[in-house]
Amino acid sequence: MNRRRILRLLGSSAFAAVVADTTRALAAPIKPDDKSALLVIDVQNCFLPGGSLAVKEGEQVVPVINKIAKAFSNVVLTQDWHTPEHVSFASSHAGKKPFELVDLSYGKQVLWPDHCVQGTDGAGLSKDLSIPQAELIIRKGFHKDVDSYSAFTEADGKTTTGLAAYLKARDISTVYVAGLATDFCVAWTALDARKAGLDTFVVEDACRGIDTQGSLAKAWTDMAAAGVKRISSADIAA
Ligand code: VGL
Ligand code: ZN
């Protein structure tokens, strides 16, 4: 083989690496250790088929999450946990419809159908989730006038849920994020995990997005810029 052909082959394999999609497993599967936690975001009835804010294919994340969870000794679950008449509900704003934007004191807020009201069946975790070793459930969005997509910090940008302090106290430095919805609670959680100095992975096929007004593409761009690593469930050792 001549030199030019070798160079051409090298060039094409470099190109193949750049376009490699996340459905291909990494060379070496990841084995989560005791310093790693799986964050399972908002796998709640309201976001599943028949729910008031059903995410397309949302139910498909459940078996994937159940499977990867077996590789983790530390698992934290979250629940979106709104008051009745929460500020994020379109029904709380005269003349507004779901998926419209409003300006609130802390910035722009997408308005949603009523969802995940405290104590309702819709706010319950999917009955098909099977993660008995999960150690903590973080509830968020329980202040009537402030939303909280992130499991770390409310939408005012300052009120914490305590999750960063909990992970620090438990000596956890790496998080894997999965659940619903990719472009809201998963993305905001992953971005705040980076702000908390955590090594952060999002397991793409263990998430599904809402995708309103370009939100899904923007979420992946923002997460990549923040150093969030995008992986597939196949990258995690069974
Ligand atoms: C979520 C919209 C409103 C989510 C929660 O879990 O991604 N999205 N509340
Ligand atoms: Zn919500």
CATH of the domain at 157: 3.40.50.850
**Is residue 186 assigned to a domain?**
yes
**How many C-beta atoms lie closer than 10 Å to residue 63's C-beta?**
14
Q: Could you tell me the distance, in angstroms and rounded to a whole number, from the CA of residue 83 to the centre of ligand 2?
A: 10
CA distances from 180 to 39, 44, 169, 184, 187 (A): 11, 8, 26, 8, 9
**Is residue 91 assigned to a domain?**
no
- Rounded Cα–Cα distance for residues 136 and 162 (Å): 11
Q: Note whether 179 and 173 are within 8 A (CB).
A: no
Is residue 168 annotated as a catalytic residue, yes or no? no
Structural domain containing residue 177: 34-83+121-235
Please name the amino acid found at residue 22.
Answer: T
pLDDT reported for residue 23:
52
pLDDT reported for residue 28:
80
42 lines ligand 1 (CB under 6 A): yes
**Is residue 214 assigned to a domain?**
yes
Mutate to test the pocket of ligand 1, among 55, 101, 108, 112 (most ligand atoms within 8 A of CB): 112
**Is residue 89 assigned to a domain?**
no
Q: Could you tell me the distance, in angstroms and rounded to a whole number, from the CA of residue 52 to the centre of ligand 1?
A: 11
Span between the terminal Cα atoms of the chain, in Å: 41
Find the angle CA(72)-CA(74)-CA(76) to the nearest 5 degrees.
115
Q: Are strands 107-110 and 101-104 parallel, antiparallel or unpaired?
A: antiparallel
Q: Which of 46, 116, 185, 207 is catalytic?
A: 185
Q: Which of 140, 192, 205, 235 is catalytic?
A: 140
pLDDT reported for residue 238:
81
183 lines ligand 1 (CB under 6 A): no
Ligand nearest to the CA of 48: 1
Distance of CA 27 to the CA centre of its chain: 24
| Token code pair at residue 228 | 């969030």
* 3-class secondary structure per residue, 121-156: HHHCECCCCCCCCCCEEEEECCCCCCCCCCCCECCC
Is residue 185 annotated as a catalytic residue, yes or no? yes
**Is residue 215 assigned to a domain?**
yes
Is residue 42 annotated as a catalytic residue, yes or no? yes
Spell out the per-residue pLDDT of the chain, length 238, in tens: 444 444 343 444 444 444 445 555 667 899 999 999 999 999 999 999 999 999 999 999 999 999 999 999 999 999 999 999 999 999 999 999 999 999 999 999 999 999 999 999 999 999 999 999 999 999 999 999 999 999 999 999 999 999 999 999 999 999 999 999 999 999 999 999 999 999 999 999 999 999 999 999 999 999 999 999 999 999 999 8
- Rounded Cα–Cα distance for residues 130 and 152 (Å): 24
- How long, in residues, is the chain? 238
pLDDT reported for residue 17:
45
pLDDT reported for residue 14:
42
pLDDT reported for residue 77:
99
pLDDT reported for residue 7:
39
**Is residue 221 assigned to a domain?**
yes
**Is residue 204 assigned to a domain?**
yes
Q: Note whether 137 and 166 are within 8 A (CB).
A: no
**Is residue 131 assigned to a domain?**
yes
> Could you give the number of structural domains in the chain?
1
Average pLDDT, the chain: 92
